[in-house]
Amino acid sequence: MQDLPALDPVFHQIVRTHLASLLSAGSCSFTELKNRLRLTDGNLDAHLRKLSAAGYLHSRMVVKGRPQTIYSFSPSGKRAFAAYVSRLRAIIDHAMKYQGPPRQARLPG
Amino acid sequence: MGSCLHITNGDDAANTLKQFLSHDDVLPWRDPMTEGPFPAGLDLCATSEIRAGYLAGPGIPYDQVLRDFQLRDEHLAAAERYGEITLWFEHDLLDQLQLLQILDWFASTRMTSNKLDIICVNAFPGIVPFHGLGQLDPAQMATLLDKRLPVTPAHLELAQSGWAAFRSPDPRDVEAFLSCELRPFPFMKEALTRHMQEFPATSDGLGRTDRQILKLVSEGVSRPGRIFAANIEFETELFIGDWGIYQHIQELCNVRQLLNCNPYGEFRDALDPALSAEEFRRQELSLTDRGRQVLANEADASAFGEVDRWLGGVHLTNHKPRWRWDESARRVTVAEA
């Protein structure tokens, strides 16, 4: 069996995959991310820290009445997520190749 | 990873870097370090918790401030993953303190410094007066890449000493640090001397910024935004932003009562959620009798209000030791009375 590509563990976690998917579409505030992902503050904090600890997160401060931090992918985060998606696609393609065509459901009798 | 990380002093410079270094990561070192506590002996994580506690207030919840610090610190901890790291800073007090903190951290991690560079400038052709990197456009900023210097073991060793001195409860440790050979940090001496000028002066008990604010108000500059703008003229190396100036006004007004504020009787912060931007701007400051006496050297500011202010690792209170800055001798002393 051929070697399958390793997946980046930072992204290979269901909440962070969704989080990364949102960030790949553009920058978001903490509240936007929290509402879209339906997470508690503490939970989102923990996942953002994982991204930051890998160098994948950029932030900028905006002041509209009160200061707010806006998050986005850093360039290395953008590259790493693109690589993750590409490797995941390779694994799925591999699985599809060996799975064969979709089976028809058998009817009883 | 193999890419580059650029660490700089705040969002203005960071946003400019992002425009012309689109393949590299950028980390702004957000913290108005000239104000508030930096107690000795704490690691970066514990220091960030203290800083978040100090900086949080009306309109800025503690959790939000702490999160920003934690994400910043996590990104710094990822430094090992980068092929090159460049520090972009300028000459003023805030930037020199940021440099000390960051280089102290690198020294403590024992990460190889051979991939660490520094850009530190106090001028740029055609930009007069030069206050900082935030004034430069991307093309101007890009020219500074040629001024990169490698961070040496001497930088790291001095930064550890300087950072320990800044966080010491005894300000004489800063003076001792300033007597060292500081050639790797050509702007450090002037910057930290400006820090010492924030200690209450032997002449009137005021720190330099407080005195500048009282002087401006006595000359008729009465709106908070105008005071911030006019204060820039007093500084040869500008380090304090609007937030910092408003903290000073708040203490002069609400604690020491050297200033009076109309129409509320007390100065209300720009981030006060109950106050509109227009209401904030319309606040008008004037000297009280106390303020006039202090400004005329007829009274000492320490006689008014409970002092509770941190300058680095020094907690200034009404109790002993009462540290004072002697401007004529350019040294710190202890007030006897």
Q: How far apart are CA B209 and CA B230, in angstroms?
A: 12
In this prediction, the answer to ipTM > 0.95 reads no
Q: What is the pLDDT of residues A68-106, one digit of tens each?
A: 899 999 999 999 999 999 999 999 988 888 876 666 666
pLDDT in tens, A32-65: 999 999 999 999 999 999 999 999 999 998 887 7
Q: Evaluate whether B113 touches B153 at the Cβ level (below 8 Å).
A: yes
Of the candidates B15, B75, B1, the one whose C-alpha atom is nearest the C-alpha of residue A55 is B75
d(CA B278, CA B309): 29
pLDDT tens column, B223-259: 999 999 999 999 988 899 999 999 999 999 999 999 9
Cis ω for the linkage preceding B186 (within 30 of 0): no
CB of B143 within 8 Å of a chain A CB? The answer is no
What pTM value is reported for the model?
Answer: 0.93
**pLDDT value for B113:** 56
What SS3 class is residue B114?
A: helix
**Beta strand A66-73 with A28-29: parallel, antiparallel or unpaired?**
antiparallel
In this predicted structure, what is the pLDDT of residue A64?
Answer: 74
Per the document, the length of chain A is 109
Query: What are the structural domains, with CATH classification, of chain B?
Result: 4-195 (3.40.50), 208-306 (1.10.10.10)
CB spacing of B82 vs A67 below 8 angstroms: no
Among candidates A48, A57, A66 on the partner chain, residue whose Cβ is nearest the Cβ of B60: A66
Q: Which of A49, A55, A76 sits opposite B70 (nearest CB)?
A: A49
Rounded to 5 degrees, φ, ψ at B207 are -75, 165
Residue ranges of domains in chain A: 14-95
Architecture of domain A14-95: Orthogonal Bundle (1.10)
Cross-chain Cβ contact B26/A74 below 8 Å: yes
- Of the partner residues B11, B59, B78, the one whose CB lies closest to the CB of residue A53: B78
Q: What value, to the nearest 5°, has the Cα angle with vertex B13 and ends B7 and B15?
A: 95
Q: What is the pLDDT of residue A94?
A: 86
pLDDT tens, position by position, B260-294: 999 999 999 888 888 888 999 999 999 999 999 99
CB contact under 8 A, A66 and B273: yes
- Residue B319's pLDDT is 86
The answer to whether the Cβ–Cβ distance between B26 and A66 falls below 8 Å is: no
Structure tokens given for B155: 């930088």
pLDDT band at residue B130, thresholds of 50, 70 and 90? very high
List the one residue out of A74, A83, A13 whose CA is nearest residue B82: A74
pLDDT of res. A99: 78
Q: What are the DSSP E strand ranges found in B94-243? A: 116-121, 149-150
pLDDT at residue number B248: 96
pLDDT bucket at B99, cuts 50 / 70 / 90: very high
Q: pLDDT digits over B172-207, tens only?
A: 999 999 999 999 999 999 999 999 999 999 999 999
B59, pLDDT greater than 90? no
Chain A residue with minimum CA distance to B243: A67
Closest CA of chain B from A33, distance in Å: 14
Q: Residues B48, A49, B57, B33: is their CA dihedral positive or negative?
A: positive
- B10 φ/ψ angles, rounded to the nearest 5 degrees: 175, -175
